[in-house]
């Protein structure tokens, strides 16, 4: 029998796809590390949480049962509570559970996301991002990630070879895309040590060793400024750190660009107002699934 340290406890349930925005708010407010994706066969939303022990898993299950009816009352009631499963999973088997959900994706005409377990031959002019997502967001399926990748592709033509900083790097997909698109130097940070570990693994998988990835708190970190800054984090963190994010921009070699994502549609007007009040100009927006993203210049 596997030792407890080798195991993860996985809580999972399915719900209606329209619950995704409310679940994102719940995750942010209650500090829950939710992983969500659309089941391609049913278009239902699959939700998972991870615990280090059986006791922690039981506590998370109780919290979900208490909070789900409050956060998504139109979908969840006492009579329609999703069945929350609790399973044990060997840590080394984690990646296997992703394989049935993630496949090669063409994000832009130049950017292709390829899971490491699927073959793909790049066409002329394509940049392939090979990825093992682990337990972090950043597969390219999520609307926030897709929007950031599209913005980065656009900016690689506006500011070729510019420096780039990925704030909240998750799986490392955006830092990797920036590197493949020719941005130099590229740096990345995340407040989750597990995300940093996975990002470094994914960069290594692509043969990229030149991107430093650090564990850092956005509220206190002082990274080297960059001409391109991408922040794919939740709206409350963007608002709380607006002036800091502006301060990360380097305007010494031309216009600087700030990509903001992780924003629900209803939250985007407040984000736009906050950052334009700081002197930035919105130059493009993307609306994908329940999420809005913006690219700002200064």
DSSP codes, 235-287 = HHHHHHTHHHHHHTB--TTS--EEEEEEEEGGGHHHHHHHHHHTT-EEEEEEE
Rounded to 5°, the CA angle 75-264-68 comes to 30
Q: What 3-state DSSP class applies to 142?
A: coil
Q: Compare 255 and 98 and report the one with higher pLDDT.
A: 255
Per CATH, which fold does 4-93 belong to?
A: Alpha-Beta Plaits (3.30.70)
Instruction: Look at residue 73 and tell me whether its pLDDT is greater than 80.
Output: no
CA-nearest of 296, 268, 298 to 283 is 296
Query: Domain 105-297 is of which CATH architecture?
Result: 3-Layer(aba) Sandwich (3.40)
Q: 167 pLDDT band (50/70/90 cuts)?
A: very high
**pLDDT, position 1:** 45
Q: What are phi and psi of 173, to 5 degrees?
A: -65, -35
pLDDT at residue number 272: 98
pLDDT in tens, 210-248: 999 999 999 999 999 999 999 998 888 999 999 999 999
pLDDT digits (tens, 9 = 90+) for 99-137: 666 788 899 999 999 988 889 999 999 999 998 765 445
Phi, psi of 185 (to 5 degrees): -75, 165
Question: CATH 3.40.50.150 in the chain, residues?
Answer: 105-297
Handedness of CA 151, 154, 155, 160 (dihedral sign): positive
Q: What is the mean pLDDT of residues 275-287?
A: 97
CA 35 – CA 48 distance, rounded (Å): 5
Q: CATH 3.30.70.330 residue ranges in the chain?
A: 4-93
Residue 109 makes CB contacts below 8 A (sequence gap 6+) with 125, 126
Residue 229 β-bridge partners: 165, 258
Q: Is the pLDDT of residue 4 over 70?
A: no
Which pLDDT tens digit goes with each residue over 6-53? 778 889 999 888 887 788 777 766 767 777 777 666 778 888 888 888
Residue carrying structure tokens 């969500």: 36
Question: Which of 57, 10, 49, 53 shows the shortest CA–CA distance to 31?
Answer: 49
């Amino acid at each position: 029998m596997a030792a407890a340290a080798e195991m993860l406890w996985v809580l999972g349930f399915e719900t209606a796809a329209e619950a995704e925005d409310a679940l994102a708010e719940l995750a942010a407010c209650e500090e829950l590390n939710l992983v969500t994706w659309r089941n391609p066969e049913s278009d239902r939303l699959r939700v998972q949480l991870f615990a280090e022990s059986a006791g922690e898993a039981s506590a998370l299950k109780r919290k979900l049962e208490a909070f789900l009816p409050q956060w998504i009352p139109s979908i969840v009631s006492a009579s329609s509570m999703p069945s929350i499963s609790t399973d044990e999973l060997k840590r080394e088997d984690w990646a296997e559970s992703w394989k049935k959900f993630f496949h090669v994706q063409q994000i832009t005409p130049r950017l292709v996301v390829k899971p490491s377990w699927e073959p793909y031959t790049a066409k002329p002019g394509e940049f392939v991002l090979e990825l093992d997502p682990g337990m972090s967001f950043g597969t390219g399926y999520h609307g926030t990630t897709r929007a950031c990748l599209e913005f980065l592709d656009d900016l690689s033509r506006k500011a070729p070879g510019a420096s780039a900083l990925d704030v909240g790097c998750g799986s490392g997909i955006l830092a990797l895309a920036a590197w493949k698109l020719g941005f130099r130097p590229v740096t990345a940070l995340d407040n989750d040590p597990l995300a940093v570990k996975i990002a470094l693994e994914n960069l290594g998988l692509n043969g990229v060793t030149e991107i430093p990835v650090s564990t850092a708190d956005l509220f206190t970190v002082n990274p080297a400024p960059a001409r391109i800054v991408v922040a794919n984090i939740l709206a409350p963190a963007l608002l709380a750190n607006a002036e800091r994010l502006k301060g990360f921009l380097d305007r010494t070699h031309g216009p600087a660009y700030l990509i903001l994502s992780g924003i629900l549609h209803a939250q985007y007007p407040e984000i736009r107002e906050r950052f334009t009040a700081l002197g930035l100009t919105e130059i493009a927006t993307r609306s994908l699934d329940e999420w809005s993203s913006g690219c700002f210049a200064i």
